[in-house]
Copies of this chain bind each other. A is one copy, B any other.
Amino acid sequence: MNYSLMAGGKRLRPILVLAASEAFGGSHAAALPVALAIEMVHTYSLVHDDLPAMDNDDYRRGKLTNHKVYGEAMAILAGDALLTQAFYSVALAHKVHGAPAERVLAITEELAAYAGARGMVGGQAADMLGEQGITSLEELTFIHRHKTSDLMVFSLRAGGHIAGATPEQLNALTAFGDALGLAFQIQDDILDIIGDESKLGKPVKSDEKQMKVTYPYFIGMEASENMVRSLTSQAKQALEEAKLPNAERLLQLADYLMKRDH
């Protein structure tokens, strides 16, 4: 559990939790266990995705994948335990940091919804079932939305919940996260083609080698780059219209993600 959780990465999802909580003047203390939870869920999904029966990857973030170090059985169990521990961590926001039980339970419910069969795992299952047989951009978008956007939307909403956001404000965070998540995944597809291996910590052109379809495959590189830009603008606009008390950091993040090289 520790090996994969501490292997680095951008920590994007926890940052989204903290930045969304900040947007409403929420305390970092209560948001932190939720931020940790989402990183645990993200990490478990990577550990399981890397397994031989799934993507069969040997490297992740420049290090050997979990099952290459500890064996398949322990990698499966480490993933299971990280997912379980995530819900424990969420509960601490109430138990240790005094966030209202009602709000923390709403976060639990949304974590289960966004990370489960109708969310992230559903996206992963569609990806597995569709391998080499994805025939439309709609199908690819479904996979991207659930594999990637859902956890980003959850992170933003969870930060909002902790800080007491209203349903309308939560909707704005959802719109921001949906657009940002798709932009993020298209950027991933682009970086897999033109990125720098040493910055990415994994081999480039892996999608091509695994015959995975991508946005550039369907619509070309230039249209993909334009789409990252327009989705980012759309995300920022949704947030600006909602006039959150302190959205500066979230807006900066959107720009940062568009320009990232890893």
Contacts and interface: CB of A to CB of B under 8 A. Distances in A.
Which range contains the number of A residues in contact with the other chain?
A: 35 or more
A36 interface: no
A72 interface: yes
Interface stretch (A21-29, A102-110, A135-143, A252-260): A102-110
A200 interface: no
A65 to B, nearest CB: 14
A76 interface: yes
B115 A84 contact: yes
B84 A108 contact: no
A88 B76 contact: no
Interface of A: 1, 44, 48, 51, 53-54, 71-74, 76-77, 79-81, 83-88, 90-91, 94-95, 101-102, 104-105, 108-109, 111-113, 115-117, 121-122, 124-125, 128-129
14 contacts: A53-B72, A53-B73, A54-B73, A73-B128, A76-B76, A77-B125, A79-B80, A83-B84, A84-B116, A84-B121, A87-B108, A88-B109, A90-B108, A94-B105
